[in-house]
Chain A
Amino acid sequence: GESVGLHLPTLSVQEGDNSIINCAYSNSASDYFIWYKQESGKGPQFIIDIRSNMDKRQGQRVTVLLNKTVKHLSLQIAATQPGDSAVYFCAEGRDDKIIFGKGTRLHILP
């Protein structure tokens, strides 16, 4: 079946370092790819998205890269801070619906 998945369930990063969270997808028909952040006790929060006709998009301290050849998506967080500690979900947007991956927990080391 079609799915959106993540390579690692947990990622530990030293505070101040850059974080890279990876994601694989299988459906090349998706229009958009999105990253959501979910902090403990809260609902997911939109971070950034990228259209399928782009390969890179930057936001504030975050960059999303899309490699359609290998169906790979990544989220890069620059200068990781304690407030970045959360579960990150990659997701595919298709037909106005979102299909979420299972999430990666980002753990910040002091």
Chain B
Amino acid sequence: DVKVTQSSRYLVKRTGEKVFLECVQDMDHENMFWYRQDPGLGLRLIYFSYDVKMKEKGDIPEGYSVSREKKERFSLILESASTNQTSMYLCASSLSAGGQDSYEQYFGPGTRLTVT
């Protein structure tokens, strides 16, 4: 079974802090994704990566950055956390780009981040 793990289930940070959310997958997937999930808005794509050291902006990249130094690990960084970044953050991975496999994404359990 594919396993996608996220470093924390719950996180509380103060405004202005730098926040790191870590995601690790164990199935050698090329693609990795970061979403945020908010009530009434569904899942929105923040950033994604097709390969090591590669990143692409999603629909709402502002205020976030990412890092992918190793294939299995994809980190989301909030350079200076703000209260409007309070949300559920979900990481996902999928097989290589260019086909049906790309759309079968495997999700982690999520990190609920609260910024006070």
Contacts and interface: CB of A to CB of B under 8 A. Distances in A.
A43 B42 contact: no
A34 interface: yes
Contact of B103 (A41, A44, A89, A93): A93
A102 B42 contact: yes
Interface residues of A, number: 22
Contacts of A103: 42
A51 B103 CA distance: 11
Nearest to B58: A97
Interface residues on chain B, size class: 20 to 34
A46 B105 contact: yes
Contact of A96 (B44, B92, B102, B108): B102
Interface of A: 31-32, 34, 41-46, 49, 51, 89, 91, 93, 96-103
19 contacts: A31-B103, A34-B104, A42-B109, A42-B110, A43-B90, A43-B92, A44-B43, A44-B92, A46-B104, A49-B104, A51-B100, A96-B97, A96-B103, A97-B48, A98-B103, A98-B105, A100-B42, A102-B42, A103-B42
Enumerate the 10 nearest inter-chain pairs by beta-carbon distance, A residue then B residue, closest first: A43-B107, A93-B103, A102-B42, A100-B43, A96-B102, A96-B97, A100-B42, A46-B104, A32-B103, A44-B107
Given A44-B92, A46-B105, 16 more contacts: A32-B103, A34-B104, A43-B90, A43-B107, A43-B108, A43-B110, A44-B90, A51-B100, A97-B58, A98-B45, A98-B103, A98-B105, A99-B45, A100-B42, A100-B43, A102-B40
